[in-house]
Amino acid sequence: MKKYSKILIIICTLLYLPAVAEQVRKLAWQDLVPAHLTTDGPFADLTQEQLELVVWVFNFIDSLPPHGKGKDTEEFYREIGETIPQLKEAGIDINELMAKRKIIQTSIVEELNGQRVRIPGYLLPLEVSATKVTEFLLVPYVGACIHVPPPPPNQIVHVRTLQKKGFSSKNLYEPVWVTGVITAKSMVKDLYLADGSAGVNIGYTMQAKRIEPYRE
């Protein structure tokens, strides 16, 4: 009787192990940013008005072409009016905030390494074989990297899949769910556009096991 009981335990264990191995963690984009940087960030003490001004300055700077970021202070002030002096009067150092913002944007969650995850996003193809997309960037919003500046590195996932398991994408920025093993790994990927190529900083990579159209 004991012998049969042991066999039954072994069988049940073997049946249970695949279920454990297949557990998948559902991620949101904010999960890719270290929690301590979002809950105790450098913007917590700003008023709503100050925060809006800071965001406006950030957006202005991000929209400048690369050669425009070297403008001298006087010309820069003329372009954005009185915003930066106004922030300085309130004791807000925009350069310091930009440095801290960069830390938030480039920090990755090392604990995610090797986890099986499922995350939604928009597909930006990098490599297509026949009618299948086999390599792409997963981004949190439409237009990223082409029509507007790229998201922060920790908001871009570089995805590869086996050729036979490529995804039949019908549209640019098609919304999808991606399931696979994620790796927290900083890298630069060249994105080839109609007017040339550009290097995109990336914080995560995934080997996709499953790609499917997005549904709530």
Q: Quick: pLDDT tens for 117-140.
A: 999 999 998 887 777 898 999 999
Q: Torsions phi, psi of 119, nearest 5?
A: -140, 140
Distance, CA of 180 to CA of 31 (rounded, Å): 16
Tell me which of 71, 106, 141 is where a domain ends.
106
Domain that holds residue 43: 37-106
pLDDT digits (tens, 9 = 90+) for 148-175: 778 899 999 999 987 677 888 877 789 9
- Residue 77: which pLDDT band, with cuts at 50, 70 and 90? low
Query: Which pair of structure tokens corresponds to residue 141?
Result: 């919003």
Interior angle at CA 160, CA 103 and CA 179, nearest 5: 80
Q: Which residues fall within 8 angstroms of residue 195, CB to CB, at 6 or more apart?
A: none
Q: Do 114 and 208 reside in the same domain of the chain?
A: yes
* Predicted pLDDT of residue 171: 78
Greater pLDDT, 80 or 204: 204
Beta strand 157-160 with 196-213: parallel, antiparallel or unpaired? parallel
Three-state DSSP string of 175-192 = EEEEEEEEEEEEEEEEEE
Between 170 and 67, where is the model more confident? 170
Looking at the structure, tell me whether residues 74 and 123 fall in a common domain: no
Structure confidence by residue, pLDDT tens digits, 40-50:
677 888 899 99
> Cβ distance 101 to 114 under 8 Å?
no
User: In the chain, where do the E strands start and end?
Assistant: 25-26, 116-129, 132-139, 157-160, 174-193, 196-213
The predicted model gives 21-27 an average pLDDT of 83
DSSP state of 150: P
> Is 7 a member of any domain?
no
Question: What pLDDT does 74 receive?
Answer: 61
Rounded Cα distance, 37 and 106, in Å: 11
Cβ neighbours of 144 (radius 10 Å): 21
Strands 116-129 and 132-139 come out as: antiparallel
Residue at a domain's end among 88, 106, 124: 106
Mean pLDDT of 188-199: 72
Mean pLDDT over all residues of the chain?
A: 80
Instruction: Look up residue 50 and give its two tokens.
Output: 């100050």
| Residue 10 banded pLDDT, cuts 50, 70, 90 | very low
CA gap 19, 17 in Å, rounded: 5
C-alpha pair distances (Å), 170 with each of 13, 128, 175, 181, 192: 43, 12, 11, 25, 19
Are 207 and 130 in a shared domain?
yes
- Considering 106, 131, 149, which residue would you say is the last residue of a domain? 106
Task: Report pLDDT for 64.
Answer: 65
**Confidence at residue 112, expressed as pLDDT on a 0 to 100 scale:** 96
Report how far residue 120's alpha carbon sits from residue 206's, in angstroms, rounded to the nearest whole number: 13
Q: Is residue 4 part of a domain?
A: no
Q: Are residues 87 and 172 in the same domain?
A: no
In a domain, 20, yes or no: no
Give percent of the chain above pLDDT 70.
76
Residue 159 shares a structural domain with residue 139: yes
Is residue 180 a contact partner of residue 133, using CB atoms and an 8 Å limit?
Answer: no
Verify that 45 and 151 share a domain, yes or no: no
Whether residue 19 is contained in a domain is answered as: no
Looking at the fold, whether 95 and 128 belong to one and the same domain comes out as no
Q: 79: closest CA among 94, 91, 68?
A: 68
**Picking from 1-5, 21-25, 191-195, which range would have the lowest pLDDT averaged per residue?**
1-5
